[in-house]
């Protein structure tokens, strides 16, 4: 599909001009460039200004499955939208095919935006795509995005770090955590011994094996746990449980991917924050 010529890209509109007023020297996408852009956890309001700028300049938009339709609509109507279909546990476009598409569209002279959920370099295979572009001699730029493992927690009142509660945070993907882990897989019993909260991406499928390993490492059954599904979107749901009850709670509630799982005392901070906010609002409204 090649409905546009590189020279037919629409002139930047008033929105792009406004961004340039706000950010003097804002980079302009050149024909034949690929920008790898993080779209954040879901809510279009959490896009960065540079991500918005990239969308406004795109000739071709290669996007993952979970990108909000309102975010896709920010690209010019004439821009070609190519669905990359990256979705855990479901049929997806092979990574080699995606990178080949990026190289091909750039060589045709188009301004290409590769739009990825969250941050491109946090379990998003953005590094592989950049490496392929560099190998092919394609100019590229990376636009960071808010990762759901942090922004998704903040959005529902779970602080990723809280003074007096934790001094570190362990981010991990659930891929490769099955009954037969790969040699480079994570030793979850060692993770448990860190004594710090654990945030899991893409872990619903392999969660039983992960929880088993954490328990073997000494993580207590009563450890607070929470799942944030479809973070920052209209479909957002939050379930709170413990390490021991988490699997039964998930089965009962019927939560599905995408979901962020958090294990640790920071989950209890949510209740504390909610009580403080509720109390403060009551004091403000009192005569």
Q: Which residues are catalytic?
A: 64, 86, 202
> What are the DSSP calls for the chain, one per residue?
-----GGGPPPP-HHHHHHHHHSTTPPPPPTT-EEEEE-BSS-GGG--HHHHHHHHH-SEEEE-TT--HHHHTTS-TTSEEEE----TTS----HHHHHHHHHHHHHTT--EEEEESB-TTSSS-HHHHHHHHHHTT--EEEE----HHHHHHHHTT--SS-TTT-S--EEEE-TT-SSS--TTS--HHHHHHT-S-EEEES-TTTHHHHHHHHHHTT--TT-EEEEEESTTSTT-EEEEEETTTHHHHHHHHT--SSEEEEESTHHHHHHHHHHHHHHHHHHHH--
């Amino acid at each position: 599909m090649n409905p546009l010529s590189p020279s037919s890209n629409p002139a930047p509109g008033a929105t792009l001009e406004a961004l340039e007023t706000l950010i003097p020297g804002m980079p302009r996408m050149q024909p034949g460039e690929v920008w790898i852009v993080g779209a954040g956890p879901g809510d279009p309001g959490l896009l960065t200004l540079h991500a918005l700028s990239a969308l406004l300049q795109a000739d071709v938009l290669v996007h993952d499955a979970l990108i909000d339709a309102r975010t896709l609509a920010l690209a010019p109507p004439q821009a070609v939208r190519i669905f990359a279909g990256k979705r855990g546990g479901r049929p997806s476009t092979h990574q080699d095919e995606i990178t080949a598409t990026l190289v091909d569209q750039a060589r045709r002279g188009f301004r290409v935006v590769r739009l990825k959920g969250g941050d491109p370099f946090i379990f998003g295979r953005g590094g592989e795509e950049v490496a392929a572009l560099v190998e092919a001699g394609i100019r590229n730029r990376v636009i960071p995005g808010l990762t759901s493992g942090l922004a998704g927690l903040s959005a529902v009142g779970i602080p990723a770090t809280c003074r007096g509660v934790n001094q570190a945070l362990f981010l991990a993907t659930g891929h490769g955590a099955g009954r037969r882990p790969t040699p480079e897989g994570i030793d979850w019993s060692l993770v448990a011994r860190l004594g710090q909260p654990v945030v899991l991406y893409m872990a619903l499928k392999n969660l039983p094996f992960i929880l088993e390993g954490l328990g073997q490492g000494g993580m207590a059954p009563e450890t607070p746990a929470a799942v944030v599904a479809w973070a920052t979107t209209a479909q957002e749901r939050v379930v709170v449980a413990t390490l021991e009850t988490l699997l039964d709670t998930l089965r009962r509630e019927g939560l599905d991917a995408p979901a962020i799982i958090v294990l640790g005392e920071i989950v209890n901070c949510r209740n504390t924050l909610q009580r403080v906010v509720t109390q403060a609002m009551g004091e403000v409204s009192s005569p």
